[in-house]
């Protein structure tokens, strides 16, 4: 059960990161500010964390 919960959490974190990057890129097209670029990088880290959780859960 713990593996399933970790897998679901990883998938949700990954999807949240994708949604965040998508929305941030849409705003960067309208007006580019440094904080939006930093936010896009932070969402990219969320994508990496989510993917890492999924890979770790599947490989164990």
Please choose, from the candidates 45, 50, 44, the residue with its C-alpha nearest in 3D space to the C-alpha of residue 9.
Answer: 50
Tokens 């440094």 belong to which residue?
34
Give the CA-trace dihedral at 34, 35, 37, 43, to 10 degrees: 170
Domain boundaries, the chain: 2-59
Q: Name the band, by pLDDT with cuts 50, 70 and 90, for residue 2.
A: confident
Residue 25 has pLDDT above 90, yes or no: no
Q: How crowded is the C-beta side of 21, counted as CA atoms within 13 Å?
A: 13
CA 49 – CA 27 distance, rounded (Å): 23
Task: Give 27-53 pLDDT, tens digit per residue.
Answer: 877 887 888 888 888 999 999 999 999
């Amino acid at each position: 059960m713990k593996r399933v919960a970790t897998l679901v959490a990883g998938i949700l974190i990954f999807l949240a990161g994708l949604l965040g990057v998508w929305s941030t890129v849409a705003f960067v097209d309208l007006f580019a500010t440094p904080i939006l670029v930093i936010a896009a990088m932070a969402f990219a880290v969320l994508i990496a964390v989510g993917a890492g959780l999924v890979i770790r859960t599947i490989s164990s």
